[in-house]
Amino acid sequence: MDSTGERRGGVTPYLELRAATRDRDRSLRDKVMSLEEAAKLVSDGEHVSLGGCTASRTPFAMIWALIRRGVKDLAVSRSIISTEGDLLFASGASRHIMTSWFSQGIVWGVSKVMRAHTESGRARFEEWSHMAMGLRYKAGAMGVPFMPMRSMLGSGVLDRAEGARTMECPFTGETLLLVPALNPDVALIHVQRCDAYGNAQLDGLTFMDVDMAMAAKRVILTTERIVSNEQIRRAPDQTKIGFFTVDAVVEVPFGSAPHECYGIYEPFYGHMDLYAAMTAKDPDAGAKAYLERFYHEPKNWAAYLERIGMAELLDARRRGSSIYDD
Amino acid sequence: MDSTGERRGGVTPYLELRAATRDRDRSLRDKVMSLEEAAKLVSDGEHVSLGGCTASRTPFAMIWALIRRGVKDLAVSRSIISTEGDLLFASGASRHIMTSWFSQGIVWGVSKVMRAHTESGRARFEEWSHMAMGLRYKAGAMGVPFMPMRSMLGSGVLDRAEGARTMECPFTGETLLLVPALNPDVALIHVQRCDAYGNAQLDGLTFMDVDMAMAAKRVILTTERIVSNEQIRRAPDQTKIGFFTVDAVVEVPFGSAPHECYGIYEPFYGHMDLYAAMTAKDPDAGAKAYLERFYHEPKNWAAYLERIGMAELLDARRRGSSIYDD
Amino acid sequence: MTTETANAPDAAAYTGSELLAVMSARLLADGQTVFAGVGIPLLAAILAQRTRAPGLTILFEGGVIGPFVEPGKLPPSTNEQRCARRANMLVSITDVLLMLQRGYVDVGFMGGAQIDRYGNLNSSFIGDAERPKIRLPGTGGGNDIASLAEMIVAMKHEKRRFVEKVDFITSPGFLDGGTSRRDAGLPAGGMFRVVTDLGILGFDAETRAMTVLALHPGVSAETIKAKTGFPLPVPADVPVTMPPTDHELGILRELDPERLYTA
Amino acid sequence: MTTETANAPDAAAYTGSELLAVMSARLLADGQTVFAGVGIPLLAAILAQRTRAPGLTILFEGGVIGPFVEPGKLPPSTNEQRCARRANMLVSITDVLLMLQRGYVDVGFMGGAQIDRYGNLNSSFIGDAERPKIRLPGTGGGNDIASLAEMIVAMKHEKRRFVEKVDFITSPGFLDGGTSRRDAGLPAGGMFRVVTDLGILGFDAETRAMTVLALHPGVSAETIKAKTGFPLPVPADVPVTMPPTDHELGILRELDPERLYTA
């Protein structure tokens, strides 16, 4: 966020927000492009928010493309950030992540890469409560400068949260917290299916993605598959992200590997163990080696998946679809 | 609303709201009962909110049962209220309706019954903007005393809206409107299907029902059919109203007749024309005759539907299911 | 509804409502997002979509984004399934109204019962608010749309409807003119056009008072002034609109064969 | 994870984590709604559901209401599909957290890294916030849960974890004790129980300082005091808990055969 934004708790003034929306081409048009083309829509220094949560529907293919492109100094936000946070730090794509929780996952212990970067002051992990993250996106989605809420009060998290303000409720006299709206420059969201226009239908857990898409100034969708607009129109009540918010649609099967995509594949646990092992002893060298092997050497997304391995992919796929077996 | 409530713009203080929720049995339990039993859960003078909008998923069966029971002095709220508002006034069940729009529908002109009651001062039609109604329920659903918004400012609607307050935004200096939370005593919502516990899956248009169920202190669901909990659990992402908010489940096929229930039946246009004709000349006498003929004389809901007529029902059913024909 | 065709230049060729629908449809541009009320706005939006603006996205207050309304199956309001047919997306009412607030809507489009020189609309009361002579149905989404989007209003041109000052501001136009709308906390949107069966009206960029931009064929400056309850400037060289074409009328009549909204 | 069974009275029979899971499961009552974190809280909640509280409703932060987690298929966090299996309802993260705020949750149930005498929890920093010795993963939903619900915390009982004052208040307990929590704007919820591998702890109704409510079999008052970094009152007649039964342990081991969370 720019310095003007910081003074207002990061809130984009209303007319500026409206102007940014007005100037977009929001019509029903084909937005299909390649991962590499979509990666060009993100500029150094922008605020990029990531859909999904922890090890679910992480927009890994898009992050992969951005890191390969060498994008720099992104401010990144997500509800809960996992390995992708490590890799954004380690690659230099970001030195500032705003989230409620940052680690690979409880099973793998506290992230060594996150620790190495934050404890040395090389990068910033800005911590908000999980609900605060959600309500900041919600305020952004609604076009209001803040949301009132009732947690974070009294805590150290509030002391360190830039821009949150307490207020005496004019109706009840109660103490409330006002958290400032987040309107990311770009939201990266991975979905099970969408049409060429960007109408996305999500299955299962939606996390903060629906609000995030409405809040963002641009949205890049990666999708397991592109379906026809006719298919979307047969069940419009299943559309969770509307085409009008979307600027790019990229078809990337297994686009959130090694994380899961609800109903299609579960996390690639073997690969996640491998990452944890590679970064356990020397986080910097380990992350560098990991990026080299999985991000820079493969020449495309299929080659990346190949490195992870076919057996893992098939196993993740089998476990993923099992949610519909009952 | 009681007088204490009015002083705060109707906002229930937080600890009072929490106590009301805490004291409910929110466990997964069978809540199936008859229309008549459910009608006993509503007391004179309570604030009752109605799900659906205009001629869609109006909880007519429940309103029918309440009017037959002779309930009095309800404060009623709905996003947009149609014929059921007329009948609530005409039957004496309510003398105070809070909504954004009140008439049978644009095709039938301005409601004569509404006019007769409001112009004579016999009843009150409290007008809020449509978004304000939605955000008042949303604030109630979220457990906060208000929502900030950007419409109604400068208008006569604001001048007459009790409890809404303007505020200078502490982040941006912009003028905002704060609308007070609505937490209805009871929400009456008609759905396509739910299980015996009250897990409801809505098809198509959801209106303000999801927020309304969360905002209300009690919820009475009427449903076209009761399905198994197993069926609900096979598609939990389709559940829009959770069992924990629900206090009663009543299976009432065609429970929103003569209005529509998305995907099942369209409005019973012939009957709606009949109502308009009956109330066109002498609204008081016409509404009284209508209530007698369709509300008091039929001995049960099937008899009510019988009076409307089988041909109309079949036609409405055919038109209703046609949304899935494409 | 009674048929009112007196104002139409050629009463035999089309009704006043058809004229309204055609003239307002022409104001919509391809690629825009329009938030349309039921009745004339809905018909006009679909007409625009089928003629000059195939990429027009229509929103309905019921929570509908980008539907195809089937000819002959017009909905009784914007809240029934006929509005939702083959839509791209269905959301809650609150969420579709929030799209206005978030700035996703280019044009708000609705009818009006009473309007004043600053484009303020009244659909709440005729007479006194406490004891009205006529209680009208109220704002619905009108206030939200008029507060948050550029507005097109389609209405019959009658002196009792075009008044010096509305009895009640249900939906804000430019309030007292000048900067008063912005000063009240409404920095975005505002009245863009009023389409009547007599002409097309706009608003002065400074004073925000209503002016005539065009007259329909056969309508004189005297007629439109006489049917307006406040001083209405008509430029000497005021353009004349092109009458509805058979193609446009044909589409309208296919859409509304029972003349629910175009009688 | 390393196996830490030193504190358990009978190391051969069960691990410290199993003891925690069993003891905290027993605090949950039938018909309650519990917001459970991953790990021990998740296991304990399922154990309760399969023993004394079949009607327990479990919520997960990922947006899950009332699921059945399959034995042997424990999720890596509360945000994967394993959490969602056969749920009654899935909602957004924000909405499930708002259920806490709306008052729909009876008990919040999570683990803790560091706690102080007033039940404040730290999972953000060890050392200084600006240049921490150890940066921990942070609050997640912990702050929201602890701010808005009655809390059960399950954690290992070590002196370095039970400190006089936490380095940072990630999730509020009773802050500085007395009425300070309410005064800060948190009128609802608060610490209810802390379950450790040594005993069950509660909080004084007035001072809000931690006290011992029960000790696990074989644990002495001296041991628990020695392992606590602040003065901890132990009543003379402190009760002793019933050790985990074979039935309880059997269920836990069926749920977590790979000992992901119960090693």
Assign C130 a pLDDT band (cuts: 50, 70, 90).
confident
Sheet strands side by side (includes D162-163): D121-122, D114-116, D162-163
d(CA A104, CA D76): 9
Listed residue (A56, A63, A57, A55) closest to A35, CA to CA: A63
Give the gap in angstroms from C-alpha B146 to the nearest C-alpha of chain D. Answer: 13
**Chain B: partners with 3+ C-beta pairs within 8 Å:** A, C, D
CA nearest to C220, candidates C127, C162, C262, C157:
C157
For the segment B269-307, what is each residue's pLDDT rounded down to a tens digit? 999 999 999 999 999 999 999 999 999 999 999 999 999
In this complex, how many residue pairs, one in chain B and one in chain C, have their CB atoms less than 8 Å apart?
196
D235–chain A nearest CA distance, Å: 31
- Mean pLDDT (chain A, rounded): 96
Q: Which of C28, C81, C88, C181 to mutate to test the interface with A (most CBs of A within 10 A)?
A: C88
Q: Give me the percent of chain D exceeding a pLDDT of 90.
A: 85
Nearest CA to B156 among A172, C138, D121, A191? C138
Alpha-carbon distance A99 to nearest alpha carbon in chain D (angstroms): 8
Q: Which residue of A has its CA nearest to B235?
A: A204
What is the tens place of the pLDDT at every residue in A198-252? Answer: 999 999 999 999 999 999 999 999 999 999 999 999 999 999 999 999 999 999 9
Note the pLDDT tens digit of each residue in C164-176: 999 999 999 999 9
pLDDT for res C12: 60
Q: CATH fold of D11-98+124-253, please?
A: Glutaconate Coenzyme A-transferase (3.40.1080)
Among D33, D82, D104, D144, the residue to mutate for chain B (most B Cβ within 10 A):
D104
Q: Tell me if B234 and A326 make a contact (CB, 8 A cut-off).
A: yes
Segment C105-132 shows an average pLDDT of 94
Mutate which: D28, D56, D102, D186, vs B, most B CBs within 10 A: D102
CB half-sphere exposure, A238, CA atoms < 13 A: 19
User: What pLDDT, on a 0 to 100 scale, did the predictor assign at position D181?
Assistant: 98
* Main-chain dihedrals φ then ψ at residue B32, nearest 5 degrees: -70, 130
For the question of residue D61 being annotated catalytic, the response is yes
Task: Give the pLDDT score at B115.
Answer: 97
ipTM above 0.90, yes or no: yes
Please, what is the Cα angle at C190 between C185 and C194, to 5 degrees? 150
Is residue B4 over pLDDT 60? Answer: no
Buried/exposed B143-159: b ≥16 CB within 10 Å, e otherwise: bbbbbbbbbbbbbbbbe
Find chain C residues with C-beta within 8 A of A236's C-beta.
Answer: 64-65, 67, 84, 86-90
C–D touching, 3+ CB–CB pairs within 8 Å: no
Q: Does the pLDDT at position D258 exceed 90?
A: no
Neighbors of chain D with 3 or more C-beta pairs under 8 Å: A, B
Element (DSSP H or E) covering residue C121: strand C121-122
Inform me whether the pLDDT recorded for A3 exceeds 80: no
Question: For residue A31, what pLDDT is reported?
Answer: 98
Provide the shortest C-alpha distance from residue C224 to chain A (in Å).
34
All domains in chain B, ordered by first residue: 14-324 (3.40.1080.10)
Q: What is the mean pLDDT of residues B187-207?
A: 98
Which three-class secondary structure state does DSSP give residue A139? helix
Percent of chain A clearing pLDDT 70 (strictly above): 98
| Residue range B147-171: mean pLDDT, rounded | 96
**Residue pLDDT, tens place only, D4-42:** 334 444 546 899 999 999 999 999 999 999 999 988 999
Domain boundaries, chain D: 11-98+124-253
Q: Are A9 and B180 inside 8 Å of each other by CB?
A: no
Contacts of residue A237 in chain C, CB cutoff 8 Å? 90
DSSP secondary structure letters along B5-45? HHHTTTPPPHHHHHHHHHTS--SS---B--HHHHHTT--TT
Point out the residue among A105, A134, A266 whose CB comes nearest to the CB of D94.
Answer: A134
Asked whether the beta carbons of residue A236 and residue C98 sit closer than 8 angstroms, the reply is no
**pLDDT tens, C185-244?**
999 999 999 999 999 999 999 999 999 999 999 999 999 999 999 999 999 999 999 999
* A20-26: average pLDDT: 96
Min Cα distance B9 → chain A (Å) is: 7
What average pLDDT does range B215-232 have in this prediction?
98
Chain A positions touching B152 (Cβ under 8 A) are: none
**Span A131-169, pLDDT tens digits:** 999 999 999 999 999 999 999 999 999 999 989 999 999
Please give the pLDDT value at position D7: 43
Would you state the pLDDT for residue B7? 47
Residue D131 has pLDDT above 90, yes or no: no
Pairing of strands B165-168, B175-180: antiparallel
A residues 91..150 contacting D (CB < 8 A): 99-103, 105-107, 109-111, 114-115, 118-119, 121, 125, 127-132, 134-135, 137-138, 149-150
Can you give the pLDDT at residue C74? 86
The pLDDT mean for chain C works out to 93
Query: A325: part of which helix (H) or strand (E)?
Result: none
Q: Do B145 and A150 touch (CB under 8 A)?
A: no
Query: Across the interface, do B236 and D88 touch by the CB < 8 Å criterion?
Result: yes
Cβ of residue B2 closer than 8 Å to a chain C Cβ:
no
Q: How many angstroms separate the CA of residue D202 from the nearest CA in chain B?
A: 21
Tens-digit pLDDT profile for residues C2-35: 333 344 445 568 999 999 999 999 999 999 999 9
Answer whether 0.95 is exceeded by the pTM: yes
Q: How many helices (H) and strands (E) does chain C have?
A: 8, 14
Integer Cα distance of B181 and B163 in angstroms? 10
**pLDDT tens-digit map of A98-112:** 999 999 998 899 999
